[in-house]
Amino acid sequence: MVNSEKTWIDYIKTEQLPEDYQLIVGAIGLANTIKLAQALPSVYVYLKSPDKLFKPAKIQFVLENYNQSGPGNPFNPRRMALETGLSIREIYD
């Protein structure tokens, strides 16, 4: 008798996957890892460093905060550096 409520996917165990996949499972979960593998079969994926990947968005965030600053809302470069992970020099540049 076949259990119609389960599929073969329910039998996938994280510890049986290759190490790279286990890292992905740790970051986004098993269900999303399965979706990713099914959507991009045999595709080599290189993930850039988050520092480089998200830097344009961080700079835009800093510029927007700077442009919105004023006497009642002073711009705080140190706070921006802490929030974005950018250096103080990058904030001033």
pLDDT tens digits for range 45-70: 888 888 889 999 999 999 999 999 99
Residues 58, 34 share a domain:
no
Residues 85, 62 share a domain:
yes
Residues 9, 36 share a domain:
yes
| Domain range for 70 | 50-92
Residues 37, 57 share a domain:
no
Predicted TM-score (pTM) of the model is 0.62
Residues 57, 27 share a domain:
no
The count of domains in the chain is: 2
Exposure string (b/e) for 2-40, b if CB count within 10 Å is 16 or more?
A: eeeeeeeeeebeeeebeeebeebbeeeebeebeeeeeee
Residues 56, 34 share a domain:
no
What pLDDT score was predicted for residue 1? 53
